[in-house]
């Protein structure tokens, strides 16, 4: 990412903002949706009563509907773009989880989204009675898939929000609320989903066999009976198509990325860490210092995991600094915020060139000397990066 950031800092900023913005839209959507599921713990009826407010808004209002769809597409494309520019796939576990979850979302989600659309196409209201009936009774495998999807989507979103929050200094207090929230909501939603399922499962299969009062779908499908098989067939085909397209794109991007990495010239650099917990290793060039460190299983402070926002990965360059390209905008701002000395750089931003490099950690890997009071409070990090 940093390579392109140097090329066009303005574009990088815009991309970052777009990524965060679209991600937030979808996160809010998922949050509301899960909140709706949570109500299943009370009863299926409550869940259904709140459906128009919590879930319906996103399909009933055109603005929100298009915003959501647009967000999904933009977010996906941006993600592909940044995947293309990733130098290494050996990333910290959180990033890995986010990446994998991101790839999985569309294949998992397709069935649900197109299924609901098909229900509408049939002229039915997608009540929870119908949808959950589909998931728990008609096709339980789909139900299993939904749980996976819920978790995957939530993990992806939560990691994104978490990373965004964490790179702000003042977020410690916010984190105290964020952590419980991020765990409690999906858990309650899952419990709600299970409980609601138990309620609608027929009695002879161990459930309670409940039905809704004044079910809007009492009359059955309202479309032309001839269309029904067509619509159902569509609902089956579309998710497959979406899956193929999305996975195809990902594969394509990965291939292109591989080509890009294959073509770049490679050299070897010897990196030496001085100070506490000294270490030394040889690595291919083209990676950032932080990526090299991770590749060599060494501990290193990196709160924002290499996004160039937190400044905890700073290192003091002791030798070999001449070869490094000067800090770009993003890095310079972070460094300025920390009142860094001139020889300090961000490990996640510098890309050592061939030769020797000797550095020293500014902040220890266990964060024992991390002290946010040393930053200039005035500038918030979001402003610094955006």
Task: Tell the residue number behind the tokens 């991101």, with chain if given.
Answer: 102
The torsion angles phi and psi of 344, rounded to 5 degrees, stand at -90, 140
| Alpha-carbon distances, residue 366 vs 95, 170, 277, 362, 371 (angstroms) | 20, 20, 11, 12, 12
Residue count (the chain): 386
Q: Whose Cβ is closer to another protein: residue 4's or residue 142's?
A: 142
Q: Whose Cβ is closer to another protein: residue 141's or residue 263's?
A: 141
Which parts of this chain interact with ligand FES (CB under 6 A)?
Answer: 302-304, 306-313, 334, 346, 348
Binding residue for another protein, selected from 63, 141, 263, 378, defined by CB under 8 A: 141
CA 93 to chain CA mean position, Å = 13
Q: Whose Cβ is closer to ligand FES: residue 237's or residue 343's?
A: 343
Pick from another protein, ligand FES, none: which does 299 bind, CB < 5 to 8 A by kind?
another protein
Binding residue for another protein, selected from 92, 133, 143, 321, defined by CB under 8 A: 143
In angstroms, give the least distance from the CB of 371 to ligand FES: 16
Q: List the structure tokens of 309.
A: 């926002």
How far apart are the C-alpha atoms of 170 and 191, rounded to whole Å? 33
Burial class (CB in 10 A: 0-12, 13-18, 19+), 173: exposed
In angstroms, give the least distance from the CB of 340 to ligand FES: 11
In angstroms, give the least distance from the CB of 258 to ligand FES: 25
Q: Whose Cβ is closer to another protein: residue 205's or residue 226's?
A: 205
Q: How many CB atoms lie within 10 A of CB 300?
A: 23
Site string for another protein, 184-213 (x = CB under 8 A): --xx--xx-xxx-xx--x---xx-------
- Rounded to a whole number of angstroms, the distance between the first and last alpha carbons of the chain is 15
3-class DSSP state of 283: strand
Q: Whose Cβ is closer to another protein: residue 205's or residue 371's?
A: 205
List of residues contacting another protein (CB under 8 A): 136-137, 140-141, 143-144, 147-148, 151, 179-180, 182-183, 186-187, 190-191, 193-195, 197-198, 201, 205-206, 276-277, 297, 299, 364-368
């Amino acid at each position: 990412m940093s390579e392109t950031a140097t090329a066009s800092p303005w574009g990088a900023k815009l991309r970052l903002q777009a990524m965060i913005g679209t991600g937030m839209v979808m996160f809010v959507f998922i949050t509301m949706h899960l909140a709706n599921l949570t109500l299943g713990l009370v009863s299926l009826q409550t869940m259904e009563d709140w459906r128009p407010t919590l879930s319906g808004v996103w399909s009933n209002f055109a603005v929100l509907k298009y915003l959501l769809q647009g967000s999904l597409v933009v977010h996906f494309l941006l993600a592909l773009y940044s995947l293309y520019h990733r130098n290494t796939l050996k990333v910290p576990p959180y990033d890995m989880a986010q990446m994998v979850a991101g790839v999985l979302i569309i294949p998992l989600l397709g069935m649900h989204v197109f299924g609901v659309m098909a229900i509408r196409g049939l002229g039915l209201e997608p009540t929870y009675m119908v949808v959950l009936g589909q998931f728990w009774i008609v096709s339980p495998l789909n139900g299993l898939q939904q749980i996976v999807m819920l978790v995957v989507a939530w993990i992806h979103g939560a990691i994104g929000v978490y990373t965004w929050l964490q790179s702000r200094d003042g977020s410690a207090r916010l984190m105290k609320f964020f952590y419980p929230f991020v765990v409690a909501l999906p858990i309650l939603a899952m419990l709600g989903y299970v409980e609601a399922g138990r309620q609608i499962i027929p009695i002879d299969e161990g459930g309670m066999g409940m039905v809704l009062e004044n079910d809007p779908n009492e009359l059955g499908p309202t479309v032309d009976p001839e269309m029904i098989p067509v619509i159902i067939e569509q609902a089956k085909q579309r998710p497959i198509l979406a899956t193929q397209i999305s996975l195809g794109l990902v594969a394509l991007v990965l291939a292109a990325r591989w080509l890009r990495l294959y073509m770049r010239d490679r050299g070897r650099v010897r990196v030496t860490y001085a100070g506490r917990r000294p270490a030394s290793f040889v690595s291919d060039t083209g990676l950032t210092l932080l990526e090299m460190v991770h590749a060599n299983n060494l501990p290193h402070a990196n709160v924002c995991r290499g996004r160039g926002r937190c400044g905890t990965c700073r290192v003091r360059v002791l030798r070999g600094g001449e070869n490094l390209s000067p800090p770009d905008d993003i890095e310079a701002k972070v460094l300025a915020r920390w009142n860094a000395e001139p020889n300090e750089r961000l490990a996640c931003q510098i890309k050592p060139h061939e030769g020797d490099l000797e550095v020293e950690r500014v902040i220890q890997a266990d964060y024992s000397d991390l002290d946010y009071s040393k930053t200039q409070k005035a500038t918030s990090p979001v402003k610094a990066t955006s």
